[in-house]
Amino acid sequence: MKSLHLICVGKLKDAHLEAIENDYLKRLVNPPLQIHEVKAHAENKEAEAEAILKKLKDLGEGGLHRIAMSEWGKRYTSVDFAKWSQGLIEKPGKTVFLIAGAEGFHESVLSVCQERLSLSELTFPHKLARILLVEQLYRAQTLRMGHPYHN
């Protein structure tokens, strides 16, 4: 079965945010999402980039579709996001979303990404962006299944 991956810099250290994320992750099954956390390095994008690139290598070089979460990325409505994500699910290989730390992505990470995706024109702390992405992936799943969650 296809699975989605999320590589994010830093850990969720707030029990409330962890509970929200875990609730969505339990429901997100078609396909499931695996979260991989890499260590945050304050004001050192290069060290964070090395950690992200190593994690990508661990997931396997071939067949990865890498998507950088960025306020400058493509924007979708929730319905269009559900359609777009269906296309990702149907693609062979692994789909990997990437969320940078507070300093943003180093160019070495952006250069290996096939797409950039935005959750909003607003800028969010990376911990909230992580929750928003997980929720939108769940919302997309419910839209594809005809579940009333989106209403």
**To the nearest whole percent, how much of the chain has pLDDT over 90?**
79
pLDDT of residue 61: 66
* Residue with more model confidence, 68 or 2: 68
Q: Does domain 4-145 have CATH number 3.30.160.20?
A: no
Burial of 66 (0-12, 13-18, 19+ CB in 10 A): buried
Tokens of 128: 């909230």
Q: Return the bridge partners of 69, or none.
A: 117
Tokens of 137: 């992936």
Encode pLDDT of 40-70 as tens digits.
Answer: 998 899 999 999 999 999 998 678 999 999 9
pLDDT of residue 135: 97
For the chain, the structural domain boundaries read 4-145
Give the chain's mean pLDDT: 93
Rg (CA), the chain: 15
pLDDT of residue 147: 87
Number of Cβ within a 10 Å radius of residue 138: 21
Q: Return the bridge partners of 8, or none.
A: 37, 99
pLDDT of residue 139: 96
